[in-house]
Every structure is written in structure tokens, then in C-alpha cells.
């Protein structure tokens, strides 16, 4: 599949697997990829820009998007709603851009139902022990938060067979090359 084919690719995987790092590398190597911008009901943080960081909506606007089918997926976290607006995704696909969504497992499941012809990739760690090492290595979470992430990761790893492809992130370059091939960018 050519790089300008306009296909939606969803990437998911447990916390600590390296989604952000791989997506950043993909975007640097393939600037024609459009990374979907989420909508949220939370207030902008310093330095965040409308349409680049997020699409910032009131609760009423967001609820209207949900009711009208204007989101490919959505969820609520810490009292705020987050979701993937359908319209900009469809616009970029119409113009032939490859579109990438980096989302959580439940969001990927929703996209599978709302946009069935998307291609879904699950990023897996080489082992659960390596995933734990990466999460602990961040040094940003308290032990309780680490344990929650690890419990969630165990459940998420069980879902990998639901996906069109599984990419093991054991080596950044190898995983990146496999993603490029699966996305038709190689």
C-alpha cells in the first residue's frame, strides 16, 4: 500500500511499551502522516494550542459530538472527557493522508466498531518483566501507581490477539521498521 493511500492506523499497547517514542520517530521519518488530535473537556494547560494539542470543548459541545456520532471513540478520565473527532480523521483520509491514532485499548475497541476499515496494531513488550523495568525506570510514579499500571498492562496484553498485527518493541529500529512496513511506508 502506498504511503499516500489514506489509511487509518490505530496503535495501542500497555503503558511503558514505547508507543510515544515510536510514534514520534514515525512522524519524524514520515511527515506526511497525520497524527489525530483528540478533543477534550479539560481546560488548556500552559503552552497547549487549540487544534494542535487538543480540540478544547465545553461539556455540552463534547456531549453533542457523542450524541451525533462525531467521535470515533471517547472515554472519561479524572472527570474530563477525551475522544477522537471523526471529521478531521475523515478529511485527512479523503485527501490521501495516512492517519495515525495512538490510543488506549478501550478506545481501539471503539474505533474497531465505529471505523471498521482501520488497521489496528498492538505494541507488545518483549516480556512483562521488561515492561515493569521500563515503567519503574521512568521514575515518575509512586509504587501504588506502578502497581495499577502493571495490573492494567496484564489485562491489556491478553487482548493483543484482537488486533490486525502485533509488533514487539524489543528494539526501537526493528519495531519502527515493522511499523513502517505494516503501514505501507517502507
**How far are the Cα atoms of 16, 105, 165 from residue 139, in angstroms, in the given order?**
12, 24, 30
Starting at the edge strand found earlier in the chain, the sheet holding 99-102 runs 34-35, 99-102, 8-12, 119-124, 165-168
Cell triple for 95: 485527501
Per the CB < 8 A criterion, the answer to whether 170 and 185 are in contact is no
Closest to 128 in 3D by CA, of 106, 105, 146, 154? 154
Per-residue confidence (pLDDT) for residue 79, from 0 to 100: 86
Q: What is the mean pLDDT of each run of 10 residues along the chain (186 residues)?
A: 68 92 95 94 91 93 96 90 94 94 93 92 95 86 88 94 96 96 90
- DSSP-derived letter for residue 156 is H
Per-residue confidence (pLDDT) for residue 3, from 0 to 100: 42
Instruction: Quote the CA–CA distance of 172 and 165 in Å, as a whole number.
Output: 17
Q: What are phi and psi of 135, to 5 degrees?
A: -65, -45
Domains of the chain: 8-182 (3.40.50.300)
Amino acid at each position: 500500500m502506498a504511503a499516500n493511500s489514506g489509511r487509518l492506523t490505530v496503535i495501542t499497547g500497555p503503558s511503558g511499551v514505547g508507543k510515544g517514542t515510536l510514534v514520534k520517530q514515525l512522524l519524524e521519518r514520515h511527515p506526511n502522516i497525520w497524527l489525530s488530535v483528540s478533543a477534550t473537556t479539560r481546560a488548556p494547560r500552559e503552552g497547549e494550542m487549540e487544534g494542535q494539542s487538543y480540540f478544547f470543548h465545553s461539556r455540552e459541545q463534547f456531549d453533542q459530538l457523542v450524541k451525533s456520532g462525531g467521535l470515533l471513540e471517547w472515554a472519561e478520565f479524572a472527570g474530563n472527557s477525551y475522544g477522537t473527532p471523526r471529521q478531521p480523521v475523515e478529511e485527512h483520509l479523503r485527501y490521501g493522508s495516512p492517519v495515525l491514532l495512538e490510543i488506549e485499548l478501550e478506545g481501539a475497541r471503539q474505533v474497531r466498531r465505529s471505523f471498521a476499515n482501520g488497521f489496528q496494531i498492538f505494541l507488545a513488550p518483549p516480556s512483562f518483566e521488561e515492561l515493569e523495568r521500563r515503567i519503574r525506570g521512568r521514575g515518575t510514579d509512586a509504587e501504588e501507581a506502578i502497581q495499577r499500571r502493571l495490573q492494567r498492562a496484564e489485562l491489556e496484553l491478553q487482548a493483543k490477539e484482537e488486533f490486525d498485527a502485533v509488533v514487539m518493541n524489543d528494539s526501537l529500529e526493528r519495531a519502527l521498521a515493522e511499523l513502517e512496513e505494516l503501514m505501507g511506508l517502507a
